[in-house]
């Protein structure tokens, strides 16, 4: 069977900026027959995520991420529909997902590696299982619950950097649902800031490209910052940490401003910021959602309930066509999208 697939064409270099040309679309084939325990699937949606930048390097810098290999098919979160099955728990027409879905139009996969999806849980919006009701939503929810120490009625202020991104836009809303009394986002355009406030219920948002971030934080968080959901690192995080309260908490989700730099993860803080962190007893522990998969099922059901009730607003940037996945990746790394970046492969 003839298919199309996307392979890693070149590496941007440890300190390089990824471009669409780092990926290559090519024609390939898969077997015509399905073996016992396998299924043939048609790919519907693929997820494009910031962590994938690390997989473009020969050394990902992480013990849980494997590098993509040159001229080999890339992979990540994906959703598809079963077209043929020789697996006892999967039937033709089932919708399934995996964290290691190959970037190709169709594939033969081990049925045990797939999770069956229930479209009704997300009002039929299957792509949500790659975002708000998937690993992105789980990262936001479990990050807040496990590392944020949010307590209803405690009058806590949360700041979210990268707040218009896939995880940040959910984290601010979940912080509110979990009990934060004030939520402030940091994003890179006036449009994004407007969406955060008017659509997603943030109390305020700062365009970090305009004005003094530290000054705006002091004005918008007069009682200091109790919880910081950190997606970006760098100068923005330094400004937030400087205004965090005693015994406050950093949820170390991502460091996208540092992904094109050859630095360890998590990147070390500047000496003056590290001093503040230690003196104020601010927790800054690495958070990896995969360590909390025992809580996945209950957490996904909670996310789906909030979606169904309209309490969790979801934004997606959908790009049509497998051929455009490299451009979608480049756009995401440049901060060009709002919400989750999804590639629709076939309808």
pTM beyond 0.85: yes
Show Cβ contacts of residue 76 under 8 Å, excluding neighbours closer than 6 positions: 46, 47, 48, 49, 52, 99, 100, 101, 103
Residues 196, 111 within the same domain? no
Residues 6, 20 within the same domain? yes
**Inside any domain, residue 295:** no
Residues 68, 142 within the same domain? no
Residues 143, 275 within the same domain? yes
Beta partners for 27?
A: 4
**Inside any domain, residue 300:** no
Residues 161, 196 within the same domain? yes
Beta strands in the chain (DSSP E): 2-8, 23-29, 38-48, 75-85, 95-102, 106-110, 115-116, 157-161, 182-187, 204-207, 225-230, 244-252, 283-286, 316-320, 340-344
- How many other C-beta atoms lie within 10 A of the C-beta of residue 304? 21
**Inside any domain, residue 307:** no
Residues 122, 147 within the same domain? no
Residues 243, 276 within the same domain? yes
Residues 152, 126 within the same domain? no
Residue 100's CATH number: 3.90.180.10
Q: Are 339 and 314 in contact (CB under 8 A)?
A: yes
- How many other C-beta atoms lie within 10 A of the C-beta of residue 152? 11
Q: Where are the alpha helices (DSSP H) in 152-295?
A: 166-178, 190-198, 213-220, 234-241, 271-279
Residues 145, 284 within the same domain? yes
Distance, in Å, from the CA atom of 221 to the CA atom of 248, rounded to the nearest integer, reads: 14
**Inside any domain, residue 298:** no
Q: Are 49 and 83 in contact (CB under 8 A)?
A: no
Give the three-class secondary structure for 253. Answer: coil
Residues 118, 178 within the same domain? no
**Inside any domain, residue 304:** no
Closest by CA to 315, choosing from 204, 202, 181, is: 202
**pLDDT for the residue numbered 265:** 62
**Inside any domain, residue 49:** yes
Closest by CA to 167, choosing from 251, 45, 257, 55, is: 251
Closest by CA to 15, choosing from 210, 262, 226, is: 262
**Inside any domain, residue 309:** no
Residues 50, 196 within the same domain? no
Residues 75, 165 within the same domain? no
Distance, in Å, from the CA atom of 214 to the CA atom of 78, rounded to the nearest integer, reads: 39
Query: Domain limits at 7?
Result: 2-131+315-344
**Dihedral sign, Cα of residue 155, residue 254, residue 252, residue 234:** negative
Positions of the chain with pLDDT lower than 50, given as ranges = 259-261
The total number of structural domains that make up the chain: 2
Closest by CA to 44, choosing from 118, 120, 121, 125, is: 125
Beta partners for 24?
A: 7
Residue 212's CATH number: 3.40.50.720
Q: Are 229 and 172 in contact (CB under 8 A)?
A: yes
Give the H or E element holding residue 325: helix 325-333
**Inside any domain, residue 299:** no
């Amino acid at each position: 069977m003839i298919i199309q697939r996307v392979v890693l064409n070149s590496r941007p270099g440890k300190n390089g900026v990824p471009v669409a040309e780092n990926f290559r679309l090519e024609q390939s084939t898969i077997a015509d027959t399905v073996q016992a325990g396998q299924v043939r699937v048609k790919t519907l949606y693929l997820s494009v995520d910031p962590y994938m930048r690390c997989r473009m390097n020969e050394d990902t810098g992480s013990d849980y991420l494997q590098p993509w290999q040159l001229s080999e098919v890339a992979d990540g979160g994906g959703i598809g529909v079963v077209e043929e099955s020789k697996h006892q728990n999967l039937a033709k027409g089932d919708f399934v997902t995996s964290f290691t879905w190959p970037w190709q139009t169709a594939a033969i996969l081990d049925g045990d590696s797939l999770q069956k999806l229930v479209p009704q849980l997300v009002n039929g919006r299957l792509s949500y299982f790659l975002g708000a009701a998937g690993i992105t939503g789980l990262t936001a929810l479990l990050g807040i619950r496990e590392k944020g120490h949010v307590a209803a009625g405690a009058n806590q202020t949360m700041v979210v950097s990268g707040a218009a991104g896939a995880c940040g836009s959910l984290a601010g809303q979940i912080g509110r649902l979990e009990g934060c009394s004030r939520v402030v986002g940091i994003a890179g355009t006036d449009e994004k800031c407007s969406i955060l406030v008017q659509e997603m219920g943030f109390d305020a948002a700062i365009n970090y490209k305009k004005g003094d971030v530290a000054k705006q934080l002091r004005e918008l968080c007069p009682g200091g910052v109790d919880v910081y959901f950190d997606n970006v690192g760098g100068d923005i995080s330094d400004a937030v940490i400087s205004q965090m309260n005693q015994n406050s908490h950093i949820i170390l989700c991502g460091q996208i401003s540092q992904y094109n730099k050859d630095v360890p993860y998590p990147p070390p803080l500047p000496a003056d910021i590290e001093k503040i962190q230690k003196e104020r007893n601010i927790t800054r522990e690495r958070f990896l959602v995969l360590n909390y998969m025992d809580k996945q099922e209950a957490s996904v059901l909670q996310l789906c309930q909030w979606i169904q009730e309209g309490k969790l607003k979801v934004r997606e940037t959908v790009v049509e066509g497998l051929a455009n996945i490299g451009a979608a990746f480049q756009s995401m790394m440049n901060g060009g999208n709002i919400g989750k970046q999804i590639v629709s492969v076939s309808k």
